[in-house]
Amino acid sequence: MKRLLLFLVSLLIGLGLFFWILQTIGWQEIKKALLVFTGWKGLVIFLLTFLMMLLGNWKWREILKSENVKISFFELFKSYLSGFALMFLAPTIFWGGELFRGYVLKEKNSIPWPKGMGSVIIDRILEWTTNLIIVFTGSIFFVFLIDFPPLKLITIFGGAFLFVLFALGLFYFKCIKKESIIGFFLRNNQNQPLETEKEVFNFFNFKKAAFWKAFGISFLRAGAMYLRTWILILFLGKNFGPMESLSILGFSYLAAMIPLPTSLGSHEAIQTFAFNSLGLGVSTAAAFTMIIRGAELIFALAGIAIFLRLGLDLLKKALLTKITKVQDLVEEKNV
């Protein structure tokens, strides 16, 4: 019964997100974003965004392979896009995309929850680590290029950066010391979280080739996003150097740390400051954020469609399982 209710909730979330997109963003904004992708320039931005998605899925697949779990690239990609859609459109649903990815692995691929959820957590930690390195490096270059940002921006985005930095620092410290983080908060015998943590800790072994391979793929994904940032600024008619582009990318990652749907508002705020400080103008910042959001929104909408489809498939499976159990009980009583 719990499983059935969870699937129904998943479907309702998917439908809610679809109508929320229409109401919050609006057809006109979606139309504007899609109109950006006209001609060969739009195709380049679209393909680079697609490359980012493929690299993200490849990283997750390599993590699972290190745990002796083999799933086809395309099959896993459907779950990856669904999780991305939830994270992109509804980041306030705490770990919604990650939990859904772990649940699909468990129900559709029969992978134990600790192993499946552990792979998703590893994926996110690697991504956060890469993002923080980019944010830190980009910020250093930015400080040398311009004056310090306003106090409000420092407070909001600096606070988010320090929070993520502290969380990752604590994780790596505990990982090196082999000390449980979850066990400190648990006061009863909840074994699944501890098993998941064990899976994560086992992966973060700096002597393992799988760790460095996944970490390298994470940087490749950041490289694809960096290339997209640089090329897009050039497409907008601005002659921009590699270091300035790295700063802009760092600010994009920083904006994503604020849990707002599609980074709406936070991305505009920080990029308006950055672009204006670098002499690129506010209008360029607005165009940049709209195009980036439009590119990622296309994949988020595709992810929502897959999310609904997966929800229906899993719902059918749950119903068939329920019906089979009822039939078995009836047959036992008749016997």
- Looking at residue 215, its pLDDT comes to 93
Nearby residues of 130 by Cβ (< 8 Å), 6 or more positions away: 215, 218, 219, 221, 222
What is the largest distance, in Å, between two alpha-carbon atoms of the chain?
83
- Looking at residue 152, its pLDDT comes to 54
Report the alpha-carbon distance of residue 273 to residue 57 in Å, rounded. 33
Inter-axis angle of helices 73-89 and 96-109, to 10 degrees? 150
- Looking at residue 299, its pLDDT comes to 92
Q: Does the predicted TM-score (pTM) go above 0.75?
A: yes
| DSSP letter string, 240-252 | --HHHHHHHHHHH
- Looking at residue 96, its pLDDT comes to 75
Report the alpha-carbon distance of residue 323 to residue 73 in Å, rounded. 32
Report the alpha-carbon distance of residue 280 to residue 237 in Å, rounded. 10
Q: What amino acid is encoded at 91 in this protein? A: P
Q: Which residue has the tokens 């606070």?
A: 159
Q: Domain segments of the chain: what residues? A: 2-334
Nearby residues of 45 by Cβ (< 8 Å), 6 or more positions away: 36, 37, 228, 231, 232, 235, 291, 295
Inter-axis angle of helices 26-36 and 2-24, to 10 degrees? 80
Burial status of residue 102 (CB atoms within 10 A of its CB: 0-12, 13-18, 19 or more): buried
Series of mean pLDDT values for 10-residue runs along the chain (335 residues): 52 55 56 61 91 96 91 92 85 73 85 88 91 84 65 60 74 70 50 73 86 94 94 82 84 78 71 80 78 88 85 64 56 57
Report the alpha-carbon distance of residue 6 to residue 109 in Å, rounded. 18
- Looking at residue 52, its pLDDT comes to 96
For 164-173, which contacts have Cβ atoms below 8 Å and span 24 or more sequence positions? 164/128, 164/132, 164/257, 165/132, 168/125, 168/128, 168/129, 168/132, 171/125, 172/204
